[in-house]
Amino acid sequence: LQIADRISAQGMLSDIWETPRVLRQLIQAHLKDGKVDIPGLRKPLPEAHGLAGKSPLEILAACSQSRMSEKGFCHRLTVIGSGTSWHAAILAEYLIETMARIPVESQYASEFRYREPTLRTGDVLVVVSMSGETTDAVEALRRVRNSPSGTGVLTIAIVNQLDSTLARECDFVLDVCAGQGVGVASTKTFSATNMMFVLLSLALADECGQIGAERESLVQRLQELPDSMQEVLDKEAKPLVTEVGDRSIEIGECPLWDIGCQNVLARNFIFLGRGFNFPIALEGAMKCKELAYIHAEGYPAAEMKHGPIALIDEFMPVVVICPKADATYEKIKSNIEEVRARNGATIAITEKHNHELEKLCEYVIGVPETHEYLMPLLAMLPLQLLAYMMGILKGNAVDAPRGLVKSVSVS
Ligand code: G6P
């Protein structure tokens, strides 16, 4: 295949390309003078609701450990979703717990749907669904609604479609405003959903008095994030985009293209990340399956030793999200050494000033420094691009991968 032909199906590349713009708009709309301003978050619920008179923010804040009753009881927050939205739900769990000290449980919508509902009055169910129509998510919501305490549970939809079943049936709706995507597999909508969770977590942290000195640096990094994302795209994908018009590609001009070429014949991939970056490892593996049709597993890095390590040899590329600023950096580095000792090749994502992984890894993808809560959003871009490029190299229908649909409406 000629490179130009492989590139011609570049539709969904524009989705990834739009991410900084979408996030910039979201931040501008919801962060005013450093304060989170989400429409309706402070507005009391209507009278018909079991929690009438209270605002979504008050009900959410009541789940914080800082509001725990003397009996040690605190309300529960459950976040559910399917596919990529489930990965966003896991990131939400890490963000909300860390920033607002609210215990959060994330679950697959398809599993939650068939479990006995245990949510009680004052608990919160957050349903994440880009389309707002995924049957498992809708039916999970209805199951809770129809349970004995259902009317006292606050339900929140996080969607990219205001005109959707979930948006209509939940008490409160957060619109991630990512616009229509070309690709079936979500990219910019995932990033926008993650950004919405960062903003919601910050609002909750403020409300619960749980954020101190780090607030200022977080807000500053938040405002820098769209530019940092643009920098990653310019470095990793712009050569690809600009050359497409001329229908000629300089292989090697684009570092990720090079990595894609070297690894596209792999039958399997492992993606590793810890903490906030664990869901990104899961999503990186998902994109690899969806776009490149390559089997991939996402794992928390430390779990590699409990099984996946047996698979590692020279044919198993291992992608590791390894920010130097992370408390677990040295531990992840030793995971990379374990891969190396087994002749596996690692592709690391780390801060661009961190050069010490270069001697350990086959490839290092450098991204700008950011706050640890935001690194998952930044690290996601190269992983989406890598899967996309490998899909293109294989001649796959990356915009509409086989067997996948935008919204699954079967049970
Ligand atoms: C389908 C799509 C996935 C998506 C999932 C959940 O399987 O192919 O890309 O993550 O549905 O969709 P939702 O609209 O609920 O986020």
- Closest C-alpha residue for ligand 1 atom 4: 83
Return the ligand 1 atom nearest residue 404 CA.
Answer: 8
Exposure class string for 323-352: b at 16+ Cβ within 10 A, else e: beebebbeebbebbebbbeeebbbbbbbbe
CA 164 – ligand 1 centroid, Å? 14
Helix (H) or strand (E) holding 128: strand 124-129
pLDDT of residue 70: 52
Whether the CB of 165 sits within 6 Å of ligand 1: no
> For the packed helices 19-30 and 214-236, what is the interaxial angle rounded to 10 degrees?
160
pLDDT of residue 73: 64
Beta bridge partners of 216: none
- Closest C-alpha residue for ligand 1 atom 2: 406
CA 401 – ligand 1 centroid, Å? 13
pLDDT of residue 10: 57
Q: What is the dihedral angle through the alpha carbons of 127, 130, 131, 134, rounded to the nearest 10 degrees? A: -50
Give the rounded distance of the alpha carbon of 42 from its chain centre.
Answer: 26
Whether the CB of 129 sits within 6 Å of ligand 1: yes
Closest CA to 139 of 168, 159, 114: 114
pLDDT of residue 49: 84
Distances (CA, A) of 68 to 199, 221, 244, 258: 23, 31, 57, 53
Distances (CA, A) of 72 to 58, 61, 93, 101, 378: 19, 15, 21, 14, 38
CA 85 – ligand 1 centroid, Å? 7
Whether the CB of 82 sits within 6 Å of ligand 1: yes
pLDDT tens, N- to C-terminus, the chain (411 residues): 444 344 334 578 888 988 999 999 999 999 999 999 999 999 999 887 888 899 999 999 988 876 665 555 678 899 999 999 999 999 999 999 999 999 999 999 999 999 988 898 899 999 999 999 999 999 999 999 999 888 899 999 999 999 999 999 999 999 999 998 878 889 999 999 999 999 999 999 999 887 888 899 999 999 999 999 999 988 877 666 554 444 444 444 577 888 888 899 999 999 999 999 999 999 999 999 999 999 999 999 999 989 888 999 999 999 999 999 999 999 999 999 999 999 999 999 999 999 999 999 999 999 999 999 999 999 999 999 999 989 988 888 888 888 888 777 766
Helix (H) or strand (E) holding 100: helix 84-100
Provide the token pair at 68. Answer: 């725990």
pLDDT of residue 75: 86
Return the ligand 1 atom nearest residue 189 CA.
Answer: 16
CA 160 – ligand 1 centroid, Å? 12
Cα(321)–Cα(278) distance, rounded to whole angstroms?
8
Helix intervals (H) in 183-213 = 188-207
Return the ligand 1 atom nearest residue 131 CA.
Answer: 14
- Closest C-alpha residue for ligand 1 atom 13: 129
CA 87 – ligand 1 centroid, Å? 11
Among 186, 196, 289, say which to mutate for ligand 1: greatest number of ligand atoms within 8 Å of CB: 186
Among 12, 80, 84, 91, say which to mutate for ligand 1: greatest number of ligand atoms within 8 Å of CB: 84
Residue 380: partners with Cβ closer than 8 Å, 6 or more residues away: 190, 191, 194, 280, 283, 284
Return the ligand 1 atom nearest residue 81 CA.
Answer: 15
Q: Structure pTM?
A: 0.93
Residue 90: partners with Cβ closer than 8 Å, 6 or more residues away: 106, 278, 279, 282
- Rounded to whole angstroms, the maximal C-alpha distance in the chain is 69
Among 16, 85, 402, say which to mutate for ligand 1: greatest number of ligand atoms within 8 Å of CB: 85
Whether the CB of 404 sits within 6 Å of ligand 1: yes
Whether the CB of 130 sits within 6 Å of ligand 1: yes
Provide the token pair at 38. Answer: 């989400």
Counting beta carbons within 10 angstroms of the beta carbon of residue 54, is it exposed (0 to 12), middle (13 to 18) or buried (19 or more)?
Answer: middle
pLDDT of residue 69: 57
- Pairing outcome for strands 35-36 and 31-32: antiparallel
